[in-house]
Amino acid sequence: MPTPSLPEFKNEALVDFTRPENKSAMEAAIAKVRGEIGREYPVVIGGERITGLSTWDSTNPAHKDEVLGRFNKGTRAHVEQAVEAAWKAFESWKKQPVDVRAGLLVRAAQMMRERKHEFSAAMILEVGKTWAEADADTAEAIDFMEFYAREAYRYASEQPIVKVPSEDNNLVYIPLGVGAVIPPWNFPLAIMTGMTTAAVVTGNTVVLKPSSESPWIAYRFFALLEEAGLPPGVVNFLSGSGAEVGDPLIQHPRIRFISFTGSKEVGLHINEEAAKAQKGQLWIKRVVAEMGGKDAIIVDRETSNLDEAAAAVVASAFGFQGQKCSACSRLIVDEAIYDQLVPLVVEKTKALRIDDPASGDAQVGPVVSRKAFKTIKDYIDKGVKEGQLLAGGVADDQEGFFIQPTVIGDVDARATIAQEEIFGPVLAIIKAKDFDDALRIANDSQFGLTGAVFTDNEEKLDRAREEFFVGNLYLNRKCTGALVGVHPFGGFNMSGTDSKAGGRDYLGLFLQAKSIARKVKPESKTVQDAAAF
């Protein structure tokens, strides 16, 4: 097994937009990407561009009437074609050496790095990310490709097993086959890139169904893979609705695995449908699911720097308008410091700048769509009846889908806004009697994705390590911002299958292990027996 001539993995650096040259570069990228709006984009199956279908428009949530691109709607017939094309490509792709597959990811990562601002600009326009949030998304996408390229070599190398003298034994990992990749809109580049390239670098082929909220950035990524040299059919771009494309895809008997990131409701539906063996199906479908969260930050009475804790809460709650599965939506505060901490959180929330993210000055942009706008507004209306409105609460959809960052205090731990995932800029503040009570409240959730604890007490931090039931726990820092390779990401309970994206276990989800044993004949036995006579 060849050793990769790749340097040690290092996370992609984030861009400092206070530097004039970086600010100018992003402005130029936004202008360039704006010059591409209004085009029609095809379904792509086995390298063939398919147009002439019904279409829908992807629009800018900051300017709801601005059409970014027009996308063809795939049908059930296209699902059949895409699955067939993917299996055909699999026959050759699975035989490619790891150098070829990993090399493709490294090339694509470098190409994305060279066009970093253009990918970020597309996210700023299509889903309303601020410059900093979009840049972090692009950096994470690059990280996923670089990290998984290196991980592919580890899985392709000789595996450590116990040796016996009578046999030659090996354990090898082989790809699963054809999978469905169904990414989310909230990290429209990073998560989609990670899900897709993890499957591809391990020798699988995929049907990529992008989110209907972010097909524009998805097509840009797909085109990059093609340009990097990905053979036709290894990734098939199948835009369309959940009913016409999504369900037929996950129910298809020839789909071997489903990689999904999204809501709890959709994730459970996918898991249920995947569990049903279809006529002609030869395997138990594997589901890799990352779903929702109702993430909590606990601030204990033994926290000396309350200003730092408040800043971390606000960043975790309102980064990308709270549209992260890792976002802090519950702040659990020890009653002894409640009246000290909460005003700091409110002050910092009210200071956030809300604007069109393309301007570069915004700290908060629009929520992603009209549907999201209405859902979040309904939760706010319910929340102000369940607690005390301390900040925000105003929603304005005249030009775009803007909702002020909203803080609701004195919320009961069992209230609707303390239990249900809102996926928007809404923070519920809950008062705890003490640290024991705070941990109880934090764990009183169907979810278990991220969480954070602020305290200067080392014993309490140790208790959080043992008792706070989440997949990603952060101590004395915010609960968002997982880094590839540093914080393998994925949660418990209704938060998903604890997939640990960006970690050493992740590629194994797209592989199956095969043990190969060969009996070894004793080389010297015949000679020794002859000598005895």
Same domain, yes or no, for 267 and 121?
yes
Of the candidates 197, 189, 180, the one whose C-alpha atom is nearest the C-alpha of residue 270 is 180
Same domain, yes or no, for 313 and 190?
no
Cα separation of 290 and 293, whole Å?
10
Confidence of residue 5 (pLDDT cuts 50, 70, 90): confident
Q: What is the pLDDT of residues 278-322, one digit of tens each?
A: 999 999 999 999 999 999 999 999 999 999 999 999 999 999 999
Same domain, yes or no, for 353 and 206?
no
Same domain, yes or no, for 407 and 505?
no
What per-residue confidence (pLDDT) applies to 10?
98
Asked if residue 11 is part of any domain, the answer here is no
- Among 12, 126, 140, 325, the active-site one is 325
The mean per-residue pLDDT over the stretch 371-396 comes to 97
- Among 133, 146, 290, 421, the active-site one is 290
Q: What 3-state DSSP class applies to 127? A: helix
**187 near 144, Cβ under 8 Å?**
no
**310 near 340, Cβ under 8 Å?**
no
Same domain, yes or no, for 301 and 208?
no
Which residue stretches of 319-367 are H helix? 338-350
Same domain, yes or no, for 335 and 363?
yes
Q: What 3-state DSSP class applies to 221? A: helix
Q: What is the pLDDT of residues 54-84, one digit of tens each?
A: 999 999 999 999 999 999 999 999 999 999 9
Q: Which amino acid is at 424?
A: G
Cα separation of 291 and 258, whole Å?
13
Cα separation of 238 and 231, whole Å?
16
Same domain, yes or no, for 281 and 312?
no
The mean per-residue pLDDT over the stretch 134-140 comes to 98
Cα separation of 504 and 177, whole Å?
21
Tell me: pLDDT of 476 over 60: yes
Q: What 3-state DSSP class applies to 479? A: coil
* Share of residues in the chain with pLDDT > 90 (%): 97
Asked if residue 411 is part of any domain, the answer here is yes
In 228-366, DSSP assigns E strands to: 235-237, 257-261, 286-290, 295-299, 328-334
What per-residue confidence (pLDDT) applies to 521?
86
Q: What is the CATH number of the domain that holds 245?
A: 3.40.605.10
Asked if residue 393 is part of any domain, the answer here is yes
**202 near 507, Cβ under 8 Å?**
yes
What per-residue confidence (pLDDT) applies to 526?
45
Of the candidates 51, 148, 57, 61, the one whose C-alpha atom is nearest the C-alpha of residue 103 is 148
Confidence of residue 3 (pLDDT cuts 50, 70, 90): low
Mean pLDDT of the chain: 96
Direct distance between the N- and C-terminal alpha carbons of the chain, in angstroms, rounded to an integer: 45
Same domain, yes or no, for 279 and 306?
no
What residues make up the domain containing 445?
295-475
Tell me: pLDDT of 482 over 90: yes
Cα separation of 201 and 195, whole Å?
10
The mean per-residue pLDDT over the stretch 194-201 comes to 98
Tell me: pLDDT of 529 over 80: no
Asked if residue 487 is part of any domain, the answer here is no
Cα separation of 279 and 359, whole Å?
53
pTM of the full structure: 0.96
The mean per-residue pLDDT over the stretch 25-54 comes to 98
Asked if residue 169 is part of any domain, the answer here is no
Tell me: pLDDT of 517 over 90: yes
Of the candidates 273, 207, 201, the one whose C-alpha atom is nearest the C-alpha of residue 506 is 201
The yes-or-no answer on residue 479 being catalytic is no
The mean per-residue pLDDT over the stretch 365-392 comes to 98
Query: Which residues, 6+ apart, have CB-to-CB distance to 103 below 8 Å?
Result: 149
Asked if residue 13 is part of any domain, the answer here is no
Confidence of residue 527 (pLDDT cuts 50, 70, 90): very low
Same domain, yes or no, for 281 and 362?
no
The mean per-residue pLDDT over the stretch 427-431 comes to 98
Same domain, yes or no, for 224 and 326?
no
Q: What is the pLDDT of residues 104-122, one digit of tens each?
A: 999 999 999 999 999 999 9
Same domain, yes or no, for 139 and 257?
yes
What is the total count of domains within the chain? 2
The mean per-residue pLDDT over the stretch 455-475 comes to 98
Do β-strands 178-182 and 257-261 pair in parallel, antiparallel, or remain unpaired? parallel
CA distances from 29 to 68, 138, 157 (A): 15, 14, 41
Cα separation of 185 and 198, whole Å?
18
The mean per-residue pLDDT over the stretch 210-217 comes to 98
Of the candidates 293, 170, 198, 174, the one whose C-alpha atom is nearest the C-alpha of residue 504 is 198
The mean per-residue pLDDT over the stretch 362-383 comes to 98
Of the candidates 147, 197, 153, the one whose C-alpha atom is nearest the C-alpha of residue 484 is 147
Instruction: Provide the residue count of the chain.
Output: 533
Number of neighbouring beta carbons within 10 Å of residue 157:
14
Same domain, yes or no, for 227 and 313?
no
Asked if residue 122 is part of any domain, the answer here is yes
What per-residue confidence (pLDDT) applies to 532?
38
Cα separation of 443 and 434, whole Å?
14
Q: What is the CATH number of the domain that holds 364?
A: 3.40.309.10
What per-residue confidence (pLDDT) applies to 132?
98
What per-residue confidence (pLDDT) applies to 522?
78
Asked if residue 463 is part of any domain, the answer here is yes
- Cross-strand pairs, 514: 172
